[in-house]
Amino acid sequence: MAGQLKEVRNRIKSVQSTQQITKAMKMVSAAKLRRAQDAIIQMRPYAQKLQEMLSNIVSNVEGGASMKLAEERNVEKVLLIVVTSDRGLCGAYNSNVVKAAKFVIAEKYNSQFTKGNGVIWNIGKKGWESMTKSGYKTDAAHKDIYLNLSFENVQAAAQAAVKAFENKEFDAVEIVYSQFKNAATQAFVAEAFLPIPKVLPKAGAKKSDFIFEPNKEELIAELMPKILNTQLYKAVLDGNASEHGARMTAMDKASENANELLKSLKISYNRARQAAITTELTEIVSGAAALQG
């Protein structure tokens, strides 16, 4: 009986220690989430407007050397940029991003990946580990961006993808990431990166008339890479906020589960203690009765 009590006490101490860790991680994630949420909320309208403007320009300007990033080709070689996190303990966040990437591959690019013409660039170690383990051709050149998250580092990855597309190493580039909604909700999406998607004109809509200054070729050549840099940076910021939101939610649930487990263990401990006391009282009474007899 004493051994059973000791075992339950040890389990209670273990759960209490775990609960302290989960509460601390929740507080840290909440603080990081506030900063990450502010960053993506400020970036998103700017990035979306730039992307809309770029798609409109591409849709209304005739082709030429300056429009090669919008050139649609027969898709034989594909690049997926998959944005996950560097660390775990954030619920199903990483596995859901990986699942979304595998779904895109199965639905759109199965033949390319089967032939070995599909490559995955990972931003975040967890995605790289999972996709590599699953047998996909991965590239770890940009997986450590979250160690020093900055526009410059993301820009380097975006420009590497642009250069690879221009050199016809890939015919299509897509970003798979998690759009941040709130701490408990993320939307896992695949977004076209290259070629730059065009906006389909609505029925009866007039063609937009742009005035270019200094000139069309120079302006578009300058604008396109900058807007693409911003598009990838927005995706990475979305992923960063989603990670902290998912971790905060997961640690909150873990703390609640620890509370429930502690209640159950304390009931078990009290029952065992009560049984031990009852046994001791019974032994004392039996001994006293034996002596009297």
What are the tens digits of pLDDT across the range 46-56?
Answer: 888 888 877 77
pLDDT at position 67 over 80 = no
191 assigned to some structural domain: yes
The pLDDT value given to residue 131: 95
More confident residue, 59 or 101: 101
Determine the pLDDT at residue 209: 64
Please determine, for residue 219, whether its predicted confidence score (pLDDT) is greater than 80: no
% of the chain beyond a pLDDT of 70: 91
pLDDT tier at 201 (50, 70, 90 boundaries)?
A: low
Predicted local distance difference test score (pLDDT) of residue 281: 80
Average pLDDT over residues 237-258: 94
Residue 179 lies in a domain: yes
- Cα–Cα distance measured from residue 29 to residue 77, given in angstroms and rounded to the nearest whole number: 38
pLDDT of residue 110: 94
5-43 confidence digits (pLDDT tens): 888 889 999 999 999 999 999 999 999 999 999 999 999
Residue 101: which CATH number? 3.40.1380.10
Q: Please state, for a pLDDT cut of 90, what percent of the chain lies above it.
A: 63
Left, alpha or beta for 72 (phi > 0: left; psi -120 to 50: alpha)? Answer: beta
Return d(Cα 54, Cα 162) in angstroms, integer.
15
Domain tally, the chain? 1
Interval 155-176 mean pLDDT: 95
C-alpha distances (whole Å) from 257 to each of 19, 87, 147, 185 are 9, 22, 31, 20
The answer to whether residue 43 is domain-embedded is yes
62 located within any domain = yes
On whether the CB atoms of residues 107 and 88 are closer than 8 A, the answer is: no
- Calculate Rg over the CA atoms of the chain: 29
- Domain residue limits at 54: 19-251
In a domain, 6, yes or no: no
Rounded to 5 degrees, φ, ψ at 180 are: -75, 125
pLDDT bucket at 202, cuts 50 / 70 / 90? low
Q: Is residue 216 part of a domain?
A: yes
On whether residue 188 sits in a domain, the answer given is yes
DSSP string, 77-91: SEEEEEE--S---ST
pLDDT for residue 9: 87
DSSP H or E stretch at residue 240 = helix 216-292
pLDDT at residue 65 in the model: 46
Which are the catalytic amino acids?
90
Residue 206 lies in a domain: yes
d(CA 212, CA 52): 17
When the pLDDT of each residue in the chain is averaged and rounded to a whole number, the result is: 87
pLDDT above 70 for 134: yes
Query: Considering only 103-112, 147-156, 177-186, 272-281, which range has the smallest mean pLDDT?
Result: 272-281
Say which residue, 201 or 42, is predicted with more confidence: 42
Among 110-124, 186-200, 269-283, which range has the highest average pLDDT? 110-124
